[in-house]
Amino acid sequence: MTLAETPNDKNSSNPFLTLNYEPALESLGDDYYDEVAAAEFPQHLLRWRNDELLPILGLDPQAVTDEDFITAFGKFEGRKPLLALRYHGYQFGEYNRQLGDGRGFLYGQVRATNGELYDFGTKGSGRTPYSRGGDGMLTLKGGVREVLAAEALHYLGVRTSRCLTMIETGLSLWRGDEPSPTRSSVMIRMSSSHIRFGTFERLHYFQRPDLIQKLLNHVIEQYYQDLSTEKDKYALFYAQLVKRIAELVAQWMAAGFCHAVLNTDNMSITGESFDYGPYAFIPTYDPYFIAAYFDYYGRYSYSYQPSICKLNLEMLQEPLKSIIDQGDLEAGLARFDEYYQAEYRSLMLKKLGFKELQHPQTEELVNLTLDFLQDSQIGYHQFFYEMARTFSSKWRDEPAFVLNASDIVPVPGASAIFDNWCILYHKILNDFDLSSIDGIAQTLADHNPKTVLLRPVIESIWEAIAQEDNWQPFNDLVKQIQSRQ
Ligand code: AMP
Ligand code: MG
């Protein structure tokens, strides 16, 4: 190392260290977090950098080196304080006060070029006071899976956190749910916030309405800015949160996504989706599909997600009661189903090629589609992709022409539901002018990508990494997702 290359110089030229950091949460005081130190890793191999996120941070991807990622987010040089956030939460219905950031911390909060405040949160960065018996680490496979989920969901129109980078860290980890020893990683998640429902639940547990109000003011000021000058901003905040969560879960449902761990510590106060562990995209439309092997009773199964999110919102009323009138909380929550249905129908309609339909027809088409998908057990994503791939103006001529060039047609006459579905779809197409056909084809293409993160796809990506350290399939898959293929 020459004199000109002292570690300090390296850090001061690292673009990640000179971003617009704001001590937004830090300035609320240490009731909400503990200052922690990051683990030191034996190795730092940059496995993923999300260059798509750099422009909104005001950075030019060309000007950011792999070494910049590694020194900032693998070695954690030059940034303090690192804050493990405190929270509790209901896990599978049981209150757990042994939570908090057990393998991560808030690295920093950045004001982006769009004016929004973003959290950089780590996952797999070492032990904290909340690690309990855990090692504070993230498996490489866990990192790969979260990167993929976040990108896929983002491109499916789900409001989600995304991963900024993932670095392999050279440790051997032992896990009950992966062949072990298994490789390790540290990941940086960029999200609108890491404040959870469980952050408020913890403050309620300690009977600190003063701290609840302080945090709520912060949340409204940063993430519900439109409400910050309203007289009844607290009630409006809850009503808005209900809407955001209802729409989020509708986005998951239309995307065929099962989050798998909808504990209240995994519910963001900004209504953003985050923390992707044992998630899965449904292979077929099965309402009782369970993604997590430890979800023995199917509490978080695919079609229970809306009611579980509603229940989580209801439980959040407990800590908010000291600040928001009970009647306002109830009135806010009462609109959940309406918001959910409106968003779900609108998204499903788009998957079927339509931006808008008359109401009774929308409901009929969506319901009949779901009946068919459930009855036939045809691939959920495959069905919509085949719609997009084989759509033709000829479908207007005869019900029997609908989907007839696709790979998924049941034998004609074998399924009365399919026949009825074709009759309905054909009828709806004929309600449109011929000039609308290109628009329908485009809507189908926009909402039904070919690339779907079904479990076998992720497993094959992981096998290439695990067996041959071959990252090409992973990189190719992310590129396909990001180019909406
Ligand atoms: P999660 O299931 O990832 O949402 O985590 C639930 C809780 O367990 C959080 O408090 C995590 O920080 C903690 N946790 C999960 N895995 C580990 C680990 N390997 N070491 C320490 N804490 C962990
Ligand atoms: Mg979590």
Local confidence band at 410 (pLDDT 50, 70, 90 cut-offs): low
**Cβ(182) – ligand 1 distance below 6 Å:** no
pLDDT in the model for residue 210: 98
Q: Provide the token pair at 460.
A: 């094959």
Kindly list the distances between the CA atom of residue 25 and the CA atoms of 32, 67, 90, 128, 201, in Å, as whole numbers in the listed order: 8, 28, 23, 18, 17
End-to-end CA distance of the chain: 45
**Measured between alpha carbons, how far is 270 from 262 in angstroms, rounded to an integer?**
15
What mean pLDDT do residues 192-212 have? 98
Q: Minimal CA–CA distance to 295: which of 87, 90, 91?
A: 91
Pocket perturbation via mutation, ligand 1, pick of 131, 138, 184, 187 by most ligand atoms within 8 A of CB: 131
What is the chain's Cα-based Rg? 24
Q: Of all protein residues, whose CA lies closest to atom 8 belonging to ligand 1?
A: 102
pLDDT value at residue 407: 84
Q: Give the Cα separation of 160 and 61 in Å (integer).
A: 22
**Mean pLDDT score of the chain, rounded to an integer?**
95
217: its two tokens: 């003011």
pLDDT digits (tens, 9 = 90+) for 240-280: 999 999 999 999 999 999 999 999 999 999 999 999 999 99
**Which one is catalytic: 68, 101, 119, 265?**
265
Ligand nearest the Cα of residue 102 is 1
pLDDT of residue 200: 98
Please report where in the chains the tokens 């609109």 appear, as a residue: 335
Does residue 470 register a pLDDT over 70? yes
- Residue from 34, 103, 139, 265 to probe ligand 1 pocket by mutation (most atoms less than 8 Å from CB): 103
Residues with Cβ within 8 Å of 425's Cβ and at least 6 positions away in sequence, in order, are 352, 365, 395, 399, 402
Residue 414, pLDDT score = 67
Phi, psi torsion values for 191, nearest 5 degrees: -140, 165
pLDDT at residue 10 greater than cutoff 80: no
pLDDT tens for residues 220-229?
Answer: 999 999 999 9
Give the list of residues 6+ apart from residue 146 with CB closer than 8 angstroms, or none. 123, 163, 166, 187, 189, 275, 276, 277
Q: Which tokens belong to 151?
A: 């990108």
Residue whose CA is closest, atom 6 of ligand 1? Answer: 99
pTM: 0.96
The H or E element that residue 223 is part of is helix 209-223
Structure tokens at 20: 């617009």
Helix (H) or strand (E) holding 247: helix 233-255
The bound ligand whose nearest atom lies closest to the alpha carbon of 142 is: 1
- Strand pairing partners for 249? none
**Ligand 1 pocket member 266 (CB < 6 A):** yes
Q: How far is it, in rounded angstroms, from Cα 261 to Cα 271?
A: 15
Give residue 475's pLDDT band: very low, low, confident or very high (50, 70, 90): very high
Q: Above pLDDT 90, what percent of the chain?
A: 93
Q: Please check whether residue 38 is in contact with residue 83, taking contact to mean a CB–CB distance below 8 angstroms.
A: no
Question: What's the chain's length in residues?
Answer: 485
Q: How confident is the model at residue 1 (pLDDT cuts 50, 70, 90)?
A: very low
**Residue 2 clears pLDDT 50, i.e. is over it:** no
**Segment 22-45 mean pLDDT:** 97
Q: If you average pLDDT over residues 299-324, what whole number do you get?
A: 98
Ligand 1 atom index nearest CA of 98: 10
| Cα of 266 from ligand 2 centre, angstroms | 5
What average pLDDT does this structure show over 418-428? 95
265 catalytic? Reply is yes
**Residue 8 banded pLDDT, cuts 50, 70, 90:** low
- Given this model, what pLDDT does residue 3 score? 45
Which atom of ligand 1 is nearest to 134's Cα? 20
Report the share of the chain in percent with pLDDT over 70.
Answer: 96
In the numeric block, the tokens 């791939």 are attached to 389
CB atoms within 10 A of CB 436: 16
Nearest Cα residue to atom 23 of ligand 1: 102
Place of tokens 């026949």: 419
